[in-house]
Structure 1
Amino acid sequence: METDYLRSFLLVVDSGSMSEAARRQGLTPAAVAQQMRALEREMGVPLLARSGRTVLPTEAGHQLVERGQALMSEVSLIKELLTTGVQGGELRVGTINTALHSELPHILARFVKAHPTVKVFLQSGTTDALYNAVLEGSLDAAVCLYPPFALPKTFGWSLLREEPLVLLAPARLIGADPHELLRSSPLIRYDRRLGGGKQADRYLRATGIVPQERFELSSLLAIGMMVDRGLGVSLVPDIASPLLSGLKLARIALPHPFDTRRFGIMWLRASPRLRLIEGMVDSAAAVVKAAARVAGRNS
């Protein structure tokens, strides 16, 4: 049995949609449908059935879900056993770029102090790509946003921060009306392909604001530098990055209520490296607690 086909099948069942399963894996719906037909031919029974617009597992499909999840965990364990002798202790961690510029270095500092012999491999990417990498076992954990769908029960999640949207403006504009600035100032857009960029776009649509767009980019650090240079304003998540502390910026709260961006760590509960993952989660909790103490003293 192709484990890639089984992974696709589990995603189809989890999401109830071949299109959504395809999106999470970076495939076309036609490719996923072909995988499902091949899997059904190999098993000799129908595994999926349509109910309206939703795809549901058949009785045989339910049995495959139960055993398939255990099989995928076993595949990850086999990979771990085969590589342990060569690589020693290793933790493969995915991260979004904003985490690299904020909490992650502090988390890693605590983690390597507690686990000095562990080698940490870091891979950056979008939240969707990191979710898929954790699901398939190529990454052990990811420091990222909560994905735009409910995490399966097979995943663990530890919240690090909730980041509200703020208007980033030159320091001289502190106290100005944020909506008026969004209407009258050039907008430096946060990339709409990313979670924070999508969130900012939804805010603009909800408030009926049509901005004067000038730039669009994916780096929050670069956006901060451009705002500091007077190139415009930006609607971004309020990240806690020391790299922005030297810039002359105003973080202006928004008057319209809106969802915060949830930022944390995700992992598979059945991971063969669960002990190390839990060590990183503990390190992250200590960093968050220390930051809260500092914020309390400074408030």
Structure 2
Amino acid sequence: MDVRFLKSLLAVIDKGSIADAARHENLTSSAVSQRIQALERELGVTLFSRIGNTAKPTESCMRLVPRARKIVQEIQALKTDLDPVGLTGELRIGAISTALTGLIPQLMKKLMTQAPDVKLSIVPGTSASLYERLIAEELDAIVVVDPPFDTPKMMKKITLYVEPLVFIKSKSVSLPIAEAIQSKPYIQYDPHSWGGRLATEYLHDQQITVDPLCDLDGLEAIAILVSEGVGVSLIPYWQGLEKIANDIVISNVDVKKYQREITLLHPVQTINSRLISFLVGLINEE
């Protein structure tokens, strides 16, 4: 059995379609389909049911996934073992959207010069959804908001940095924070998200009541709406906020209590421990 065929199988599962898997692997859709068909012939089962442009894994396919992932990881580990500094191979990193616009671009630039043989596969998502994929072993590590619960002992958690809560408004709004929140449409950072609880806690402590215009779990979208004069908001400040919406006024709430921690989570037992440690070092560089 060719391990490349297993990689294509996992790519189709992770990407949701043969076309997206082909783009990820720099192959044609026909080549990926042929690999899947070869696996189906060898294993004697149907691996995917094709519905339109999507490929849905069958029950038989999903039973194979955990072992297939381990086989691919072990083959990758052979290359890593031959590298004395462990800076070879592919790493699947899940990242929340603010990390994609703030942290990841600088990290990629450093990797290009310091570890060009490392290939990062970046998967966007919410903190909760990425955590589920990490537990399911679909990702090697995730950059997310610190979970609002105790993580299991099999997971290692590293605090990367903190993001303070800030108040944002358009330049046309001159009111102080409390008055602006109560008199202008309030765009609420989804209180059910891991990071959204921060703004909710601040409003409660300051005894500010709001009737939100809407709830959003997309900080970039909130910033753009505020810059367009739609309303005001309380959100965590992240590197790259001004790049998303430069026509806004940003005010600190001046209370250290209201900060969200951005953490990196990865399994304690992983073949990628040296590579993950190297990435954390790059992130913590001045």
The TM-score, its normalising length taken from structure 1, stands at 0.63
Matched residue, 1:104: 104
- Code of the residue aligned with 1:168 in structure 2: it is I
Query: Which structure shows the bigger proportion of residues in helix conformation?
Result: 1
What is the 5 A alignment of 1:1-299?
Answer: 78-82=71-75, 89-173=89-173, 176-241=175-240, 244=243, 247-254=246-253, 258-286=257-285, 289=286
Output the CA distance in 2 between the equivalents of 1:232 and 1:131.
31
Output the CA distance in 1 between the equivalents of 2:242 and 2:223.
9
C-alpha displacement at 1:244, in angstroms? 3.2
Which runs of at least 4 in structure 1 moved beyond 6 Å after TM superposition?
Answer: none
C-alpha displacement at 1:97, in angstroms? 0.9
- Code of the residue aligned with 1:108 in structure 2: it is M
Checking the alignment, whether the CA contact within 8 Å between 2:164 and 2:256 is kept in structure 1 is: no
Unpaired stretches in structure 2, ≥5 consecutive residues: 1-66, 80-87
Aligned in 2, Cα 1:217/1:245: closer, same or farther, shift over 3 Å?
closer
Checking the alignment, whether the CA contact within 8 Å between 1:184 and 1:212 is kept in structure 2 is: no
Output the CA distance in 2 between the equivalents of 1:275 and 1:260.
30
C-alpha displacement at 1:141, in angstroms? 0.8
What is the aligned residue count? Answer: 213
SS in structure 1 at match of 2:195:
helix
The TM-score, its normalising length taken from structure 2, stands at 0.66
C-alpha displacement at 1:168, in angstroms? 0.6
SS in structure 2 at match of 1:265:
strand
- Code of the residue aligned with 2:184 in structure 1: it is S
- Code of the residue aligned with 1:274 in structure 2: it is S
Output the CA distance in 2 between the equivalents of 1:75 and 1:265.
25
Output the CA distance in 2 between the equivalents of 1:113 and 1:278.
17
Aligned in 2, Cα 1:206/1:144: closer, same or farther, shift over 3 Å?
same
Q: Percent identity?
A: 28
SS in structure 2 at match of 1:195:
coil
SS in structure 2 at match of 1:196:
coil
Checking the alignment, whether the CA contact within 8 Å between 1:76 and 1:272 is kept in structure 2 is: no
Unpaired stretches in structure 1, ≥5 consecutive residues: 1-73, 290-299
Output the CA distance in 1 between the equivalents of 2:114 and 2:70.
24
Checking the alignment, whether the CA contact within 8 Å between 2:202 and 2:258 is kept in structure 1 is: no
C-alpha displacement at 1:127, in angstroms? 1.7
Output the CA distance in 2 between the equivalents of 1:257 and 1:107.
27
C-alpha displacement at 1:187, in angstroms? 0.4
Output the CA distance in 2 between the equivalents of 1:129 and 1:212.
28
Checking the alignment, whether the CA contact within 8 Å between 1:183 and 1:211 is kept in structure 2 is: yes
Matched residue, 1:42: none
Checking the alignment, whether the CA contact within 8 Å between 2:188 and 2:212 is kept in structure 1 is: yes
Superposed CA RMSD: 2.8
